[in-house]
């Protein structure tokens, strides 16, 4: 419909996708749209699916998140409205996803992209120690993340001068 530029058919397709889009279907829709569709319709469906996944992120088991293409998953992980209580939850999911990718012989670049989505400065101290044991995470990243987080955090608490 989008390729033929038939607006009414395009709108019906979007309406149909919105009816099908749910917490359980969003990861599969994200996985399939990249492979099956292109153009504005695919982008619109991906954005809607990403919204659903971000809003319900804490409800997804790692197995469901593995279905989502890495580039889409990274976009979700970087969202400020990601439904997690603490960044430690993101770390736990990423470590599980990275281990799965390594077992499957996945691309090292995909693993690096996943780690780049973690906000290391927001991790608890015990998780920073866990992160220090992960080979794929450069140790200087952890040091700088904590330094910057402390500096920004303390200046925010002091308020404007």
* Proportion of the chain above pLDDT 70, given as a percent: 78
Compute the radius of gyration of the chain from its Cα atoms: 19
Q: Is 46 helix (H, G, I), strand (E, B) or coil?
A: helix
Provide the pLDDT for residue 38: 65
Least confident of 31-40, 83-92, 121-130: 31-40
88 has pLDDT over 80? yes
**With the C-alpha atoms ordered 99, 79, 44, 57, is the resulting torsion angle positive or negative?**
positive
Mean pLDDT, residues 36-43 taken together: 70
Measured between alpha carbons, how far is 51 from 110 in angstroms, rounded to an integer? 22
Measured between alpha carbons, how far is 120 from 134 in angstroms, rounded to an integer? 13
Measured between alpha carbons, how far is 92 from 108 in angstroms, rounded to an integer? 18
Mean pLDDT, residues 111-139 taken together: 90
Q: CA dist 92 to 86, 96, 108, Å?
A: 11, 6, 18
Q: What is the pTM of this model?
A: 0.75
């Amino acid at each position: 419909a989008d390729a033929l530029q038939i607006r009414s058919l395009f709108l019906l397709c979007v309406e149909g996708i919105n009816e099908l889009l749910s917490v359980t279907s969003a990861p599969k829709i994200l996985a399939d749209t990249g492979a099956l569709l292109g153009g504005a319709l695919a982008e619109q469906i991906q954005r809607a699916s990403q919204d659903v996944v971000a809003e319900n992120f804490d409800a997804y088991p790692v197995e469901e998140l593995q279905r989502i293409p890495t580039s889409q998953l990274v976009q979700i992980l970087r969202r400020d409205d990601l439904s997690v209580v603490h960044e430690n939850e993101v770390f736990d999911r990423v470590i599980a996803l990275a281990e799965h990718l390594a077992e499957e012989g996945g691309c090292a670049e995909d693993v690096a992209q996943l780690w780049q989505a973690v906000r290391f400065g927001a991790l608890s101290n015990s998780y920073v120690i866990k992160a220090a044991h992960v080979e794929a995470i450069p140790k200087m990243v952890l040091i700088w993340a904590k330094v910057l987080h402390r500096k920004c955090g303390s200046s925010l608490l002091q308020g404007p001068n």
